[in-house]
Amino acid sequence: MGLSGPAATEQPLRIGTSLSITGKQYSAQGGYCREGYLLCQKHVNAEGGVVGRQIEFVTYDDASDGKAAARNYEKLITEDKVDAVLGPYGSEITEAVAEVIEKHRMLMIAPTAGTSSIWEKGRRYLIMMLSPVEGLPEGLLDLAARNRLTRVAVIKLDGLG
């Protein structure tokens, strides 16, 4: 007798990512991303998964190194054969892995990249979730003007991070 709907033994939807679990630059933020992804996995699976499939994250540590992250995404796509990928932490490492994503035509959602320079090369398989950080000062200055502030301080980090 046949059953309708997904089989109980259906393979999970495997989502690959490379995060900065170690390394000097982004280890704290990479850890937060990993915790968020695992929390997502817990809640989605408790609700029955995605179209009946449980989700499972395949995560590698890039040690805050863009070249290591690029190797990790190559492995996730070609060896692990994940169904989907989520971006690493930060704009700098996302930029480092973008060519791998483009080469394999694997759509990547980049939840923590926030620089418009990623788009200057005409990327087609990368979706950023944040607004480009270059536009943030305009909104802040407008807010300051509307509230008649007379002093404004701006703190900026160098680089793409």
Q: Is 70 domain-assigned?
A: yes
Q: What is the CATH number of the domain that holds 73?
A: 3.40.50.2300
Q: Is 158 domain-assigned?
A: no
Domains contained in the chain, number: 1
Q: Is 155 domain-assigned?
A: no
One-letter identity of residue 90: G
Q: Is 61 domain-assigned?
A: yes
Helices (H) and strands (E) in the chain, counts: 4, 5
Contact 17, 59 (CB under 8 A): yes
| Parent domain of 67 | 13-132
Q: Is 7 domain-assigned?
A: no
pLDDT digits (tens, 9 = 90+) for 94-107: 999 999 999 999 99
Q: Is 5 domain-assigned?
A: no
pLDDT digits (tens, 9 = 90+) for 28-85: 999 999 999 999 999 999 999 999 999 999 999 999 999 999 999 999 999 999 999 9
